[in-house]
Structure 1
Amino acid sequence: QVINPGFVDTPLTEKNLLPMPGLMPVNRASRRMARGIRSGGFEVTFPWRLSWGLKLLRILPRPFCRSVISTATRWKARPLNFDRKPPSE
């Protein structure tokens, strides 16, 4: 089985500065996961609005998809820094 949860309110997501549509408490998310596992279906996704929206984006042309996601998350592309040296051990 595959579980694709949306945003779950955890200490990690508290540090996230991006918009998190459908953010849900841990207890609600865990109940959804348990119910999905018991159902025996292959894929468990929630919340449905976020998961169906992302599935719809996958069938659209990639540049359009990137534009929508970048706008929704306010993500800005940054150039890669190839001059940076790896950390020494």
Structure 2
Amino acid sequence: MTKVTVYSKSWCPFCVRAKMLLQSKNIDFDEIDIGKQPEKRNEMIERSQRNTVPQIFINEHHVGGCDELLAADAQGTLDQLLNT
């Protein structure tokens, strides 16, 4: 089963947009709000090598942020990742 993890902050418009795309595809995802769980920020940075949100993972594959997620959707590679 595919596991999707989104590191986010509740006030971030890019996070909202990324989550809306996943929801529109009926994809369940685990959200880790680093605003509410600041101790998870270092975990996010270690996994992604980035310090901005959102950071999106499909299984262990780092998709990237909102722009990369939208690009993957436009290119058709997002559906391939989600079906692995």
TM superposition score category, shorter chain reference:
0.3 to 0.5
Larger Rg: 1
- Higher-RCO chain (CA-CA 8 Å, sequence separation at least 6): 2
Larger strand proportion, structure 1 or 2? Answer: 2
